[in-house]
Amino acid sequence: MGEVHIGLPGPWAENCREKADHYTTKIGGLPDWPIPEPNIKRELLYCRVCDGRLCLVAQVYAPILSTKLNIEERAIYIFGCPNQDCGKNPDSWRAIRLQKGDQDSEPNLALSNTLPSEKESFPMDGASNWLKDTLLMNDSGKLNDGSVGDKKLDDLARAFSEASALSSCSKKQNRKKRNNSSTRARVGRTTAEETPVPVLPCFYIYFQTNQAHGSIDAVSSFYSSLTLKEDVYPATDTDEEEKWVGETYEYDKALGADTTYLKFKKQMDTYPEQCLRYSYGGIPLLATSNSIEPDKCIHCGSPLVYELQLFSPILYFLQQAANASVACSADGWSWITLIVYTCSRVCTSYLNS
Amino acid sequence: MAERGAGDRGGFGRGFGRGRGDRGRGDRGRGGRRGGRRDEEEKWVPVTKLGRLVKEGKITSLEQIYLHSLPVKEHQIVDTLLGGRLKDEVMKIMPVQKQTRAGQRTRFKAFVVVGDSDGHVGLGVKCAKEVATAIRGAIILAKLSVVPVRRGFWGNKIGKPHTVPCKVTGKCGSVTVRLVPAPRGAGIVAARVPKKVLQFAGIEDVYTSSRGSTKTLGNFVKATFDCLMKTYGFLTPDLWLETRFSKSPFQEYTDLLAKPTKTILIENTERIEA
């Protein structure tokens, strides 16, 4: 298991439609595809429920650097539907993984010719392939190369209209996506900017490694409302009847929150602003105890491994920044965390020209 | 399974240092241009939707939350809504021990009661290895468990309610606590420990009767708290009128956010006991 990287919010983008490269990790804005946008299948970018255009929620640069596997050019894009009704439906979420394979079995000349000029930092050779994979997002979602993705939203705030307690909802979302497109027209044009796509307010993410767990207890000292003099203890009981007997260890419990959620909140409080948590092969931070185990990869059948998860401070920051000039806003969403799983074998399926 | 090796920091560092990524460690003034506030004290970043609504100021009183039975998952919600009126007190810190092969492991259990002496009270119990941690954790749990307390009259309905509206009983473990309405001036007739909880709730006069092993004061204080929770669960004749249901804050503000130009008539049918 690797160490955990916490993604904290950095500066806002000056213009939410400004371009970065695919090495940038950011929330909102336009996706920075390393390949020209017409290469990407249309149905990937459109909502399966309402067929509206999806907007980019998060773009994460996620290389895999280990002794066995070395994929430097790898990025994960998470899309959501800004439509008010679709936000509650797990089918409207989508995650796409793009990576560059080392072997160039199918040199795709069209791809190489159409590298957009703005991506000068793109180090690919002319004959390399970009592999596009749709990611399945589950609560334990896997990212696959390939067509089907499961996505499960750990959404504790789904029951808005009901006056009952919030319940977590986990639905599998299967998405079929075909990587191979033989009818892709290769035109040497830049990424499509002509049609106005919905765009969320954009800010960048910087990463910090999670500190040692010993400091978690010190976090509660951050709260200024919890000032308490250290030496104020209740008066010693002199009465014989007031001996507090029979007490044993008790797990944390509150009226509205159970133990799992309180542990989740304790982790969140170490970095209250954390938006992203990256830990390839690590353990997801769950907010409810009834989570669904991830299925296997649709394409290769290998087990899915946890890669990253998004947290609801993203929604808070996006809603704070929402104004009329932005095409869409995050108001319809109310999840606590979004967990993304990827294929452990990092299977790929090549784009055929 | 591919694992991240030692070079993974370099991976992020690259995204960090290339292109637009290198402004990652730039200014952290979030929302400065967009109207958000970033005072040093207000570092609360709400996690739940209810927290976001409270932070924006769309919800002004705890009663709106109680009316729709919404679970409170962040203690800052209670802090924001009740503010400085909320007082807390540590009732007891006691060591609890567990026998392990290497001897005994001692942890500290803290009982904290919070309340504003005007109808809201909460009780928190937390075990931790250090006393200070246990106290802070118990305060947070107590704030998460704040409940409304209904008060009524013993006889003539003159002035403000001062006692419990009816006889209620609460139970925890083997301890049962019964609260009986008392006339004005009777004071809280109870043992020292539950008396504190009743004072924090804002009850001025009450008779109590307890049964069971009240030596287990942890159960005693939890039974009293359970009793206070039940005061609003008791159907009395003045509640016979049919409720006119209002929109839950989530629904109300979802509609509001969806159509920002339309004014929403907010119907407030909460009954606040005098």
Token representation of residue A215: 């400091």
Q: Is A9 in Cβ contact with B30 (below 8 Å)? A: yes
Residues in B closer than 8 angstroms to A61, CB to CB, are 11-12, 14-15, 21
- Which pLDDT score is estimated for A36? 73
By C-alpha distance, the chain A residue nearest B124 is: A254
Q: Which of residues 149-188 of B touch A (CB under 8 A)?
A: none
The minimum CA-CA distance between B241 and chain A, rounded to whole Å, is: 20
Q: Please, what is the Cα angle at A240 between B124 and B115, to 5 degrees?
A: 25
Q: For chain A, say whether B218 makes contact (Cβ under 8 Å).
A: yes
Q: Is B98 in Cβ contact with A162 (below 8 Å)? A: no
Residues in B closer than 8 angstroms to A233, CB to CB, are 90, 93
Please name the member of B90, B125, B217 whose beta carbon is closest to the beta carbon of A250: B125
DSSP assigned state of B102: T
Is A11 in a helix, a strand, or coil? strand
- Which pLDDT score is estimated for A268? 87
The minimum CA-CA distance between A227 and chain B, rounded to whole Å, is: 8
Region of residue A224 (left: phi > 0; alpha: psi -120 to 50; beta: else): alpha
Please name the member of A5, A13, A244 whose beta carbon is closest to the beta carbon of B12: A5
Q: Sorting pLDDT into bands at 50, 70 and 90, what band is B24?
A: very low
The minimum CA-CA distance between A182 and chain B, rounded to whole Å, is: 31
- Which pLDDT score is estimated for B252? 78
Q: Which helix (H) or strand (E) holds A6?
A: strand A5-12
Q: For chain A, say whether B105 makes contact (Cβ under 8 Å).
A: no
Token representation of residue B118: 């005007």
What is the rounded distance in angstroms from the CA atom of residue B137 to the CA atom of residue B126? 6
Residues A46-61, buried b or exposed e (16+ Cβ, 10 A)?
Answer: bbbbbeebbbbbbbbb
Whose tokens are 């290339």? That residue is B18
What is the rounded distance in angstroms from the CA atom of residue B246 to the CA atom of residue B64? 10
**Nearest one of A339, A336, A338, A209 to A283, comparing CA atoms:** A339
- Which pLDDT score is estimated for B256? 54
Max Cα separation, chain B? 77
**Nearest one of A221, A324, A336 to B128, comparing CA atoms:** A221
Q: Which residue has the higher pLDDT, B150 or A138?
A: B150
Please name the member of B73, B107, B128 whose beta carbon is closest to the beta carbon of A257: B73
Q: Give the start-end residues of each E strand in A161-275.
A: 203-209
* Average pLDDT of chain B, as a whole number: 81
pLDDT in tens, B188-236: 999 999 999 999 999 999 999 999 998 898 999 999 999 999 999 999 9
Are A2 and A279 within 8 A, CB to CB?
yes
Residues in A closer than 8 angstroms to B140, CB to CB, are 220, 223, 226
| Residue B183 pLDDT exceeds 80 | yes
Please name the member of B2, B8, B16 whose beta carbon is closest to the beta carbon of A346: B2
Please name the member of A165, A166, A254 whose beta carbon is closest to the beta carbon of B141: A254
In chain B, % of residues over pLDDT 90 = 61
Mean pLDDT calculated for residue range B116-121: 94
The residue count of chain A comes to: 353
- Which pLDDT score is estimated for A64? 80
Q: Sorting pLDDT into bands at 50, 70 and 90, what band is B268?
A: very low
Q: Is the pTM of this model over 0.90?
A: no
Which residues in chain A show pLDDT less than 50? 103-194, 213-218, 220-222, 224-225, 227-238, 351-353
Q: Which residue has the higher pLDDT, A65 or B108?
A: B108
SS (H, E, C) A244-290: CCCCCCCCCCCCCCCHHHHHHHHHHHHCCCCCEEECCCCCCCCCCCC
What is the rounded distance in angstroms from the CA atom of residue A291 to the CA atom of residue A300? 24
Q: Is A220 in Cβ contact with B137 (below 8 Å)? A: yes
Residues in A closer than 8 angstroms to B1, CB to CB, are 281, 305, 344
Give me the helix-helix angle, A313-321 and B49-56, nearest 10°: 40
How many angstroms separate the Cα of A135 from the Cα of each of A132, B232, B258?
9, 49, 30
Which has the minimum average pLDDT: A176-185, A341-350, B36-45, B131-140? A176-185
The sheet carrying B206-211 orders its strands as B168-172, B175-181, B206-211, B188-189
